[in-house]
Amino acid sequence: MCDPIEKFDFRPLSSIDVLKGNAIELELAIRIVLRIVLVLELDDELQVSQINWKSCSLQCNSDSSGSHPNPGSRLTTYMGCWALHSLAVVLGRLASYYYAENRVTTHRCMCLSHMCSVQAPMCGKGIAAMSSFLPATTESIALAIEAKDPSESISILYRVLDDPSSSPEALRMKEQAITNLTEFLRKENRAENLRSLLTQLRPFFSLIPKAKTAKIVRGIIDTVAKIPGTSDLQIALCKEMVQWTRDEKRTFLRQRVEARLAALLMENKEYSEALTLLNGLIKEVRRLDDKLLLVDIDLLESKLHFSLRNLPKAKAGLTAARTAANAIYVPPAQQGAIDLQSGILHAEEKDYKTAYSYFYEAFESFNALEDPKAVFSLKYMLLCKIMVSQADDVAGIISSKAGLQYVGPDLDAMKAVADAHSKRSLNLFEIALRDYKAQLEEDAIVHRHLSSLYDTLLEQNLCRLIEPFSRVEIAHIAELIELPVDHVERKLSQLILDKKFAGTLDQGAGCLVIFDDPKTDAIYPATLETISNVGKVVDSLYVRSAKIMT
């Protein structure tokens, strides 16, 4: 008798685009399943536990006559594993095939459906319809995680999200699939795919609670932020989501996305648009009394005004953030951000000792969370030590247990500046600025304070060098201080105008003429004081005489 499997028409498999060359592997899977259905009676002999789905190996005995694969065959590729796992393709074919006098019975289809947890309504769908998605199950996600090729993992997870099932278990599996998919896309730097994923998930968001929707949306936006060079994309993405949340009346999510958008606009130096957005958002959030979000927005407003060099408003924003934070429990990361901003504002007012204590508190918070911001807090701590002429403490802080965790270019840059300051060497200072340009000059906060420190060091060194001379060549001073002549000449003229010393520049001879400090005569101020006192006495006598006359 002819094997009924031979009557099965496998030719349409090669015409299905989604198979991508895996039609042979899929045929192998179908042959295995058909062998189970036809050769074994699927009564109580074959249990689900006998099938090792993870390794895709069928552990059962059967008559494997002929050269075709038997149930003990092993599938190696993703497409074959998927076909054997879901069986949706097979079920679609089995439901419409006649085996001479032996039609595929409902009993056999139901047994097969039970084995792979496929719902009965899915069994009647054809191969084309069923090949576009995978069931949202733990096994499907496991297949994606175990796939060797990231592109293959991404493809599997997209198919899981296409599953039309809306059961609680399926929704939970889809949430897990979204988490895994965003991570795979981040590793592949596929920011545009993450953007389109948010659009694709909008129907799914209508099936889950709003709180979970907010978590997923913010998670995907955070994931995009981890991909370098995506500032413009993040802004466009946030604007799209703000519009969608307005249309869907999701106020809670919209406010948080708008806060994120304002932060991105500030980083992109679009201060006017960011300030307009924040002003409206602050009024709305204060009316709703959402303290936690209000802390973030007030802190963001403080940073924005600081970037605009409006120190009073920056301090007012920070005070508002602290006031709101005192009324609620603030997460350590948020408290660290508040302390970091406090330190920055105190450093701007030259109160470096207070700033150091705030930076230390911020470092403790970020270090406990293993947050990357910890290295910036430590960097600013070292900056404060340098600015208060305690550069010798820098090496000790870096070599401490906490400092050793963050050894890298940022700390090396501060150590180089500290060494230059200790040696009062402007040449070493400029070498440090040149070698660590990204860490020193591109950090606006560090650059601002180091510029002030450089000017102070330059003034001190010039005053010390010219002190023994009454007339000296500018070129000689430049040689001693190891700086260009034009740079030294420009600084000397500035010091003369600021009356830091008495002198003049003889540009024709290229010399600096230093005058002796004029000696003040003590008689002149004493005479002025005497005249002032006499005037007071006369005024007092006049008042008394006026009283007597009346």
Compare 201 and 483 and report the one with higher pLDDT.
201
Mean pLDDT of 339-359: 94
* 458 domain-assigned: yes
Residues 6+ apart with CB under 8 A from 220: 178, 182, 194, 197, 198
Which stretch of DSSP H or E encloses residue 127?
helix 127-130
**Most confident by average pLDDT, 144-153, 157-166, 234-243, 432-441:** 234-243
Give backbone dihedrals phi and psi of 73, rounded to 5 degrees, phi first: -65, 155
**Neighbour tally for 142: CB within 10 Å:** 14
Predicted confidence at residue 81, as pLDDT, reads 42
Predicted confidence at residue 426, as pLDDT, reads 83
CA 86 to chain centre: 38
Domain boundary residue among 110, 130, 150? 130
Which stretch of DSSP H or E encloses residue 512?
strand 511-514
Predicted confidence at residue 518, as pLDDT, reads 67
* 357 domain-assigned: yes
* 213 domain-assigned: no
Q: Is the confidence at residue 519, as pLDDT, over 60?
A: yes
Structure confidence at residue 515 as a pLDDT band (50, 70, 90):
confident
Mean pLDDT of 197-212: 92
Token pair listed for 240:
């799209």
Domain around 493: 467-514
Query: Cα dist. 469→490, 497, 514 in Å?
Result: 19, 19, 7
pTM of the complete model: 0.66
* 212 domain-assigned: no
Burial state string for 281-318 with b = 16 or more CB within 10 A and e = fewer than 16:
bbeebbeeebbebbbbbbbbbbbbbbeeeeeeebbebb
Predicted confidence at residue 1, as pLDDT, reads 43
- My answer on whether 496 and 433 are in the same domain is no
Query: Cα dist. 455→391, 458, 483 in Å?
Result: 17, 5, 13
Find out whether 421 and 457 touch, Cβ atoms under 8 Å. Answer: yes
Q: Is the confidence at residue 344, as pLDDT, over 90?
A: yes
Q: Is the confidence at residue 78, as pLDDT, over 60?
A: no
- My answer on whether 450 and 343 are in the same domain is yes
- My answer on whether 10 and 114 are in the same domain is yes
List the one residue out of 381, 384, 318, 315 whose CA is nearest residue 350. 384
- Looking at this protein, which amino acid is placed at residue 20? K
Structure confidence at residue 193 as a pLDDT band (50, 70, 90):
very high
Residue 507 sits in a domain of what CATH number?
Answer: 1.10.10.10
Give backbone dihedrals phi and psi of 504, rounded to 5 degrees, phi first: -150, 155
Secondary structure class of 503 (helix, strand, coil): strand
> Please, what is the average pLDDT of the chain?
78
Residue 344 sits in a domain of what CATH number?
Answer: 1.25.40
* 54 domain-assigned: yes
- My answer on whether 379 and 480 are in the same domain is no
Cα distance from N-terminal residue to C-terminal residue, the chain: 147
Residues 6+ apart with CB under 8 A from 325: 291, 295, 334, 335, 338
The total of structural domains in the chain comes to 3
* 450 domain-assigned: yes
- Counting DSSP H helices and E strands in the chain, the numbers are 28, 5
* 231 domain-assigned: no
Find out whether 18 and 132 touch, Cβ atoms under 8 Å. Answer: yes
* 543 domain-assigned: no
Find out whether 226 and 188 touch, Cβ atoms under 8 Å. Answer: no
- My answer on whether 343 and 458 are in the same domain is yes
Predicted confidence at residue 452, as pLDDT, reads 87
Token pair listed for 477:
């001073």
Specify which residues 511 forms β-bridges with: 473, 506
Predicted confidence at residue 322, as pLDDT, reads 93
Specify which residues 505 forms β-bridges with: 512
Enumerate long-range contacts of 59-62, CB under 8 Å, 24 or more apart. Answer: 60/36, 62/35, 62/36
Structure confidence at residue 74 as a pLDDT band (50, 70, 90):
very low
- My answer on whether 53 and 91 are in the same domain is yes
Residues 6+ apart with CB under 8 A from 474: 485, 488, 489, 492, 505, 510, 511, 512
Query: Cα dist. 106→37, 47, 96, 97 in Å?
Result: 11, 18, 12, 12
Structure confidence at residue 34 as a pLDDT band (50, 70, 90):
low
Out of 131-145, 329-343, 405-419, pick the least confident: 131-145
DSSP string, 23-39: HHHHHHHHHHHHHHHHH
Secondary structure class of 471 (helix, strand, coil): strand
- My answer on whether 457 and 355 are in the same domain is yes
- My answer on whether 373 and 490 are in the same domain is no
- My answer on whether 418 and 473 are in the same domain is no
Domain boundary residue among 435, 451, 466? 466
- My answer on whether 114 and 26 are in the same domain is yes
Domain boundary residue among 406, 436, 466? 466
Order the strands of the 511-514 sheet from edge to edge.
471-473, 511-514, 503-506
- My answer on whether 504 and 401 are in the same domain is no
- My answer on whether 372 and 477 are in the same domain is no
